[in-house]
Amino acid sequence: MNQIWIPAHLQHFTNGSERVEISGSNIRQVIRALDNKYPGLGEQLREGDMLTPGMTVAINGSVDHLGLYATLDEDSEIHFIPAIEGG
């Protein structure tokens, strides 16, 4: 099972839980499973065929630019965070 950290503004979907456990071998599956368990959460995390613009996903501490299409090798720790750029 993967451990998903839920962004603060979406924790009302998970009854205030900061972390939830969800299965899935890629981010798309994870989001679908999250939406099944917490209806409405899925459409906050994705917009059409990509993650919500401005959001990115970190898997085991590293940002994966494949976003929605990133795959998970094993049980992973997943964070949805604002995208980082630079100047």
Partner 1 sequence: MKHAEGQVDFKVIGTTPERPDGIEKVTGRARFADDIHLPRMLFGKILRSPHAHAIIKGIDTSKALALPGVHGALTGEDFPQLESTVISHGGASTIDIKDLAENCIARDKALYDGHAVAAVVADNYHIAEQALELIEVDYEILTPVLEIEDALKDDAPVLHETFSPGGFILQTEKSHSNAGSFKLRLGDADRAFQNADHVLEETFQTRCVHQGYIEPHSVTVEWSHNHIMSVWTSTQGHFAIREQLAFILRHPLNKVKVTPMEIGGGFGGKDQVYIEPIAAMFAKNTGRPVKIAMSRADMLRGTGPSPGANIRVKLAAKKDGTLLGADLTLAYEAGAYPGGPVTSAALQATARYNIPDQQILGHDVLLNKPKMKQYRAPGGLPVNFAMESMLDILARKLELDPLEVRLTNAMVTGDRMITGIPCQKIGGKELLKAVRKHPHFTSHLTGRNPGRGLAYAMWFGAGMTSSAALTANPDGSVKLSVGTPDLSGTRMTLAMQAAETLGIPVSSISVSIPDTDSIAFSFMAVGSRTTHSTGLAVYEAAQQLLRRMTERAALYWDVDETDVTFSDGMFNNQKDSTLTLTFTEMAHLLEKLGGPITVQSSVTPKSNGAQLTAHLVDIDVDTETGKIEIQRYTAFQDVGKAIHPDYVSGQMQGGVAQGIGWALSEAYQYDEAGHLLNTTLLDYRMPTSLDLPDIETVILETPNPNHPFGVRGVGESSIMPPAGALANALYDAVGIRMTALPMTPGAVLEKLKKKQRGS
Residues contributing to the site for partner 1 (CB under 8 A): 5, 7-9, 11, 18-19, 44, 52-55, 58, 61-67, 79, 81-87
Query: Is there a contact between 21 and 14 (Cβ–Cβ < 8 Å)?
Result: no
- What is the three-class DSSP state of 55? strand
All residues at 6 or more sequence positions from 21 whose CB lies less than 8 Å from its CB, including other chains: 1, 2, 3, 4
Provide, rounded to whole angstroms, the least separation between the CB of residue 15 and partner 1.
15
| Residue with smaller CB distance to partner 1, 53 or 73 | 53
Provide, rounded to whole angstroms, the least separation between the CB of residue 47 and partner 1.
8
Determine which helix (DSSP H) or strand (DSSP E) holds 31, and give its type and residue range: helix 27-37
| Residue with smaller CB distance to partner 1, 1 or 81 | 81
Provide, rounded to whole angstroms, the least separation between the CB of residue 41 and partner 1.
13
